C-alpha cells in the first residue's frame, strides 16, 4: 500500500494510491500519515477499506512529505563502501550517525533552495526507513517489526558547511528544503527485499548515481538495532540509510555542484520518483 499526503504545505491531508494510480482521500479513516497512524494495526485498518469508495483527489494537487509530524530525521553516513571511497574516507566500523533538522523536510517535488553564498550544494539519493512501532534496545531479529515502510529521500548536502566549517556534519545537512521525502510511504509488505532495490539520481538529464541497496555496509536491522541503543526510536521517525557513489563532490577530475535553475530527478525501485528544481534562497 502506498500512503501519501497531499495539499498545500502545512495543511496536507492523508491519502492513499488506489490500484489505478489515483489518489484517494483518507481523511475519514485517519487524521494524518504520521506516527500515530502507521502502526501495523492502523495500516491493516486502511487495507480493509474499499479504496474505490473513498473520495477521489484531483490529480493536480501538490504531493507533500509522505510522513507528517516527524520527530527525528536520522541519517547514516558512508554506508556504501564505494561512496566512502569516492569521499576519501575509510569504510566505517560502526554506523556514522548524523541528523537532518525536521525543518528541512519538504515534498518530493518541491523546490530545493541553494543556500546564500553556497558553491558546494550536492545531491544524495537514499532509501528512507519509517518507524511504525516505537522501541529501544531493539534486537536485529525484531527490528523489521518496527518498520512501517519505506520512502525516497534526497539527502541534499552543503559540503562546505558539512566538511570545512568545523564541528559535526549536521550543519551542512539541515538547511531548509534539504530533505525531500516521498512521494509515498510504501508499506513494508509491498517491498519483498529492501536490500535489493535499484536507486538512481540524475541532474538535468545526466545520470550521476546508479546503485543498489544490496551494497549497504550496515543493513536495516543492524541500523535500527544500533540506533535504538543510543536513543528510543519512535513511530514516525525517519532513518535515511546512506547513498551510493556518484555524488557531486566525488566526480573526477573536478567536483560538480548544484546551481539555481537545475532539475534533480531521482527514484528507487518500487518507491516512485521525485523531481526538484533548484533555486537561490532569498
pLDDT tens figures, 4-20: 999 999 999 999 999 99
pLDDT at 86: 80
How many Å apart are CA 200 and CA 209, to the nearest integer? Answer: 5
pLDDT at 88: 81
How many Å apart are CA 46 and CA 3, to the nearest integer? Answer: 10
Short-list 162, 155, 222, 150, CA closest to 186: 150
Compute the average pLDDT of residues 119-133: 98
Torsion of CA 145, 212, 85, 88, to 10 degrees: -70
Instruction: Report the percentage of the chain scoring pLDDT > 70.
Output: 100
Ramachandran angles phi, psi of 156, nearest 5°: -65, 140
Per the CATH hierarchy, to which homologous superfamily does domain 68-280 belong?
Answer: Fumarylacetoacetase-like, C-terminal domain (3.90.850.10)
pLDDT at 91: 85
The three cell numbers of residue 220 are 536495516
For residue 100, the SS3 value is coil
Helices vs. strands in the chain: H and E counts, helices first: 5, 18
Q: Where are the domains of the chain?
A: 68-280
Q: How many other CB atoms sit within 10 Å of the CB of residue 267?
A: 18
Residue range 246-271, pLDDT digits in tens: 999 999 999 999 999 999 999 999 99
How many Å apart are CA 177 and CA 237, to the nearest integer? Answer: 18
How many Å apart are CA 222 and CA 227, to the nearest integer? Answer: 9
pTM: 0.96
Residues comprising the chain, all counted:
282
For residue 53, the SS3 value is helix
Residue range 136-194, pLDDT digits in tens: 999 999 999 999 999 999 999 999 999 999 878 999 999 999 999 999 999 999 999 99
Short-list 231, 208, 70, 45, CA closest to 136: 231
How many Å apart are CA 276 and CA 110, to the nearest integer? Answer: 6
For residue 64, the SS3 value is coil
pLDDT at 182: 98
DSSP 165-194: SSS-THHHH-STT-EEB-S-EEEGGG-S-T
Amino acid at each position: 500500500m502506498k500512503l501519501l499526503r497531499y495539499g498545500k504545505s502545512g495543511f496536507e491531508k492523508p491519502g492513499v494510491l488506489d490500484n489505478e494510480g489515483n489518489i484517494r482521500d483518507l481523511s475519514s479513516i485517519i487524521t494524518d500519515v504520521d506516527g500515530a497512524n502507521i502502526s501495523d494495526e492502523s495500516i491493516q485498518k486502511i487495507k480493509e477499506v474499499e479504496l474505490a469508495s473513498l473520495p477521489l483527489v484531483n490529480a493536480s494537487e501538490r504531493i507533500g512529505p509522505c510522513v507528517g509530524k516527524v520527530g527525528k530525521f536520522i541519517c547514516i553516513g558512508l554506508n556504501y563502501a564505494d561512496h566512502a571511497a569516492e569521499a576519501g574516507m575509510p569504510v566505517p566500523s560502526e554506523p556514522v550517525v548524523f541528523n537532518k533538522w525536521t525543518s528541512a523536510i519538504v515534498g518530493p517535488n518541491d523546490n530545493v533552495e541553494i543556500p546564500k553564498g553556497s558553491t558546494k550544494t550536492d545531491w544524495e539519493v537514499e532509501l528512507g526507513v519509517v518507524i511504525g512501532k516505537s522501541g529501544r534496545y531493539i534486537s536485529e531479529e525484531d527490528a523489521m517489526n518496527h518498520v512501517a515502510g519505506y520512502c525516497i529521500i534526497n539527502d541534499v548536502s552543503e559540503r562546505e558547511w558539512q566538511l570545512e566549517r568545523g564541528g559535526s556534519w549536521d550543519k551542512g545537512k539541515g538547511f531548509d528544503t534539504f530533505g525531500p521525502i516521498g512521494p509515498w510511504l510504501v508499506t513494508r509488505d509491498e517491498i519483498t527485499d529492501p536490500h535489493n532495490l535499484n536507486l538512481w539520481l540524475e541532474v538535468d538529464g545526466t545520470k550521476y548515481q546508479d546503485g543498489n541497496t544490496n551494497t549497504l555496509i550496515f543493513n536495516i536491522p543492524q541500523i535500527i538495532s544500533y540506533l535504538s541503543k543510543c536513543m528510543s526510536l519512535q513511530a514516525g521517525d525517519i532513518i535515511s540509510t546512506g547513498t551510493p557513489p556518484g555524488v557531486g563532490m566525488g566526480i573526477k577530475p573536478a567536483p560538480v555542484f548544484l546551481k539555481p535553475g537545475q532539475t534533480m530527478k531521482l527514484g528507487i525501485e518500487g518507491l516512485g520518483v521525485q523531481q526538484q528544481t533548484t533555486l537561490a534562497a532569498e
